[in-house]
Structure 1
Amino acid sequence: MSQYSPLKGQTGLKRIFNAFKYSMSGFKSAFKNEAAFRQIICLNLVLIPISCMLHISKIEHVLLLIVGLLAIIVELFNSAIEAVVDRISLDQHPLAKIAKDMGSAAQFVALIIIAVTWVIIVFL
């Protein structure tokens, strides 16, 4: 058992299995509870097949895939931040607003990265 947390006691294959189970639970929760996560998934479900139809290099194709997946990662973090802030208190507080706004800003940057990458690869 870890000296830092009583919840960190698993090792080996059991730990890997648990990590996978927790990850799938996180995806399920995000999809069920977060409209923005569903929108990012839908965006990827449109862009990924389109990227497969483009006559571009493998590196360019990988870049188009990575930027879409990056937005999914950022939205998962954003949703996690919002959940923790809401768990602490539903009262409005300036620090809670800052945390949520920064998470939203991170997702905005991820969407800009998608747009810029697609414009550069497809149109320039």
Structure 2
Amino acid sequence: MKLLMAMYLFMCCSVSFADEVSDLRDLARLSQDYRELAIDCLIEVKTNKTNGWEGEVCEKYKKFSTTGLQSFKVETEAATSAFKEYSKSDGATKNRVKRGLKQLVLIQENAESIRNITSKIKAELQK
């Protein structure tokens, strides 16, 4: 009975631990999508200066930056906290921790890029 209980707990924990790294992977992909949206908006602003924020892509980006960005930050903070807890656990493997850290770096790099692109968009609109 104890063996079955231990195996059940191990299986549950393994699935839970896998989720932390998967969540980071999903957020890294999402951050890349948001970065591409910001790039597309910057290109639209540079090529259609008369439209300003009125272009289709920039409307999507503006909507993301006013509503989606906050929820993305909250999700990222929650996933990061869960991953930190996982990385300190006994069930953490070196490879999974490496993969999780790689995803965290990708998310941070994309977030930095989005901030820089947003500054460029605003500067372009002020010209």
Larger Rg: 2
Greater per-residue helix proportion: 2
TM-score (norm 2): 0.37
Higher relative contact order (CA 8 A, sep 6+): 2
